[in-house]
Structure 1
Amino acid sequence: MKEVLILFIIFCSLLCCTYLFAQQSEIVYDNNSQIEILTGADVCADIVTVNGSFSGSGTICSGALPVTLSLFNASNEKNNVKLYWKTENELNNSGFQVQRRAEGNDWVIVTFVQGNGTTNEPAEYHYTDAKLMPGKYFYRLKQTDYNGNYEYFDLALPVIISKPNEYRLSQSYPNPSNPKCNIDYQVPENINVNISVYDLLGKLVTVLVNAKKDAGIYTIEFDGTNLSSGTYIYSFTAGQYKEVKKLILVK
């Protein structure tokens, strides 16, 4: 077994690579084994047992495989939270599960961001958690290696999404649309909202929203697939507030 292992490690060393037994949960070498691991080679698993001798300048690692996280912060713009984190080095890193918890609620999984495996170079990661309702939010990263080992990194401070302080209707985007576009609107209080689309003759084309909404910022989609190209009017009504804008549909 010694000769095969040495030849394999020499091959890896010539290629200037590191080989990780990443998918193994346990590696056990037989009694009286003589293991030589050369520079640039690592033997890693949840459990590594050598029933013999070990030599060489390579490494044997077992248990959780580390990621050095040097930075984890967040910023918010309106109701979007931008997360940023940086690693100084990674070993056997499958990736990061982004988790969020609203105050008084349980943790939920937001997304998974692929890691860089094994690297000694710094790596930067970004993710935007979009379209959140007003409230206080906590974030953490669940870093997982290829063996399933994991650890948590918590954001130091919660992120506060404030309630809007005014009514507002955005211009549709993209505009012109072909054939779909988005429309943002915001309300500063719980109120009945109606957003309807009309043609230039004043004929009702479709109703996009007709419901009571909590204070917050919202996005809706207008789909003009079954409509003719042209200019349309969309009207936003919330209590006594009313605003009207135009959108252009081009096919």
Structure 2
Amino acid sequence: MRKIAPFIFIFVLACFNIAILGQVANHIVIAETYGGGGNNESHWANDYIILYNPTASNTDISTWSVQYAAYNSLTWHVTNLNSTITSGSYYSIQEAGGSSGDMAPLPFVPNVIGTISISATKGKVALVNNQIALTVSDPTSDPNVIDFIGYGLANAFEGSGAAPAPNNTSSVRRKDNNGNNTYGTNGSGWDTNDNSADTYKETDIINNPPLPVELTSFSASIADDAVKLNWRTETEVNNYGFDVERATILSLPDGGRNSGWKKIGFVEGHGNSNSPKRYSFVDNDISSGRYAYRLKQIDNDGSFEYSKVIEIDLGLPLQYELSQNYPNPFNPSTTIKYQIPKAGNVKLTVFNILGEVVSVLIDRYEETGVYSISFNASTLKSGIYFYKLESANFIQVKKMSLIK
């Protein structure tokens, strides 16, 4: 017995170590599911499913599918997938939408669009390595099922229990690669084959699903008969880079048209980053006139997202101007736009109703140009706030409302 005991101890320890190392899945996982699209009080017009590749290899899913069944049903609805999920990337599937609620389009370009109507509170979602509909109520033992999430009152799930029940304003998310309730920057690969332990309910989905890049500022300035574009990101996930696009504005805004968008350059991204990154691009191929610019941020898997459009005038004199923030009211972020007619120090400050400074957004030298900056008030309470622009002898104050 004495000789056997050490062997048993080593064997158990080895198994324990394997379990610890195995918390991050070695296959594609279901990172998130949302079924409140278009329902009362929902944020988004459509349901969606997000996949994530936690492995070190790209995976071809062109013959795979995602499938959904009601919480107690054996009838499965199928959305066929396409293309490849690169290592560390997300893959988004837009599904059906409802007809009520304060709805906005999904804040991402889906990789594929399906027609499945997903329950907001209880149901079953399967990732399958073929495109044939499942035929049983509990397919968790089917070798073709790559990943599975049963949530709410689902009669099938992985492990000891179902994932928590979401609602019209929340989703079921998989924990990150460290086993924490965070999403996006640390992946979404936690998998102990137990839905109740591997997932959580996220009640704030305003920023779902994670976009490849969090762009916090984008501005244009005039320098030596050229236009210099500057932008900044706070975080990046699988960022391949930015196409820079320009359009010539042929009439005033109330006439509203331009010459059409043209790619004028490309700036390489930083891939994955949790720290702020600054970018710039100089457009020398211009003459007097009015121009619009936008960025096309491209993910490693080819998906993309457009920035807001900024404009600059190279023919008419600029005046100092502080625009009303948009959106207003807002929660938690809003954009403030301003323009300055000559280079100099610019200060943009946010105050509360007591006159106390809560944020200094800008305090630096800037060239002549039109600028915009994002203000994130996630740490502030609901209420009225003021923002003030100061440059040379110019001072202007405007009011904005934060409603949480």
TM bracket (short chain): 0.3 to 0.5
TM-score in terms of structure 2 length: 0.27
Higher gyration radius (CA): 1
TM-score in terms of structure 1 length: 0.42
